[in-house]
Chains A and B, each alone.
Chain A
Amino acid sequence: SQQGEEDPQALSIQEGENATMNCSYKTSINNLQWYRQNSGRGLVHLILIRSNEREKHSGRLRVTLDTSKKSSSLLITASRAADTASYFCATDDPGGTSYGKLTFGQGTILTVHP
Chain B
Amino acid sequence: GAVVSQHPSWVICKSGTSVKIECRSLDFQATTMFWYRQFPKQSLMLMATSNEGSKATYEQGVEKDKFLINHASLTLSTLTVTSAHPEDSSFYICSATHYNEQFFGPGTRLTVL
Chain B at the A interface: SS class = strand
Which of B43, B57, B93, B107 is in CB contact (< 8 Å) with A107?
Answer: B43
Which of A45, A48, A88, A97 is in CB contact (< 8 Å) with B44?
Answer: A88
CA distance A35 to B34 in the complex (A): 16
Contact B91 A40 (CB under 8 A): yes
Does A100 make an interface contact (CB < 8 A)? yes
Please, which residues of chain A bring their CB within 8 A of the CB of B34? 98, 100-102
Please, which residues of chain B bring their CB within 8 A of the CB of A48? 101
Binary contact readout B68-103 vs A (1 if CB under 8 angstroms, 0 otherwise) = 000000000000000000000001010101001111
Does B13 make an interface contact (CB < 8 A)? no
Contact A100 B107 (CB under 8 A): no
Besides the known contacts A104-B43, A106-B43, A107-B43, 7 further A-B residue pairs in the complex with CB atoms under 8 A apart: A4-B43, A42-B93, A42-B107, A43-B93, A43-B104, A100-B34, A100-B102
Q: Which 7 A-B pairs have the closest CB atoms?
A: A42-B106, A100-B97, A43-B104, A104-B44, A98-B49, A104-B43, A42-B107
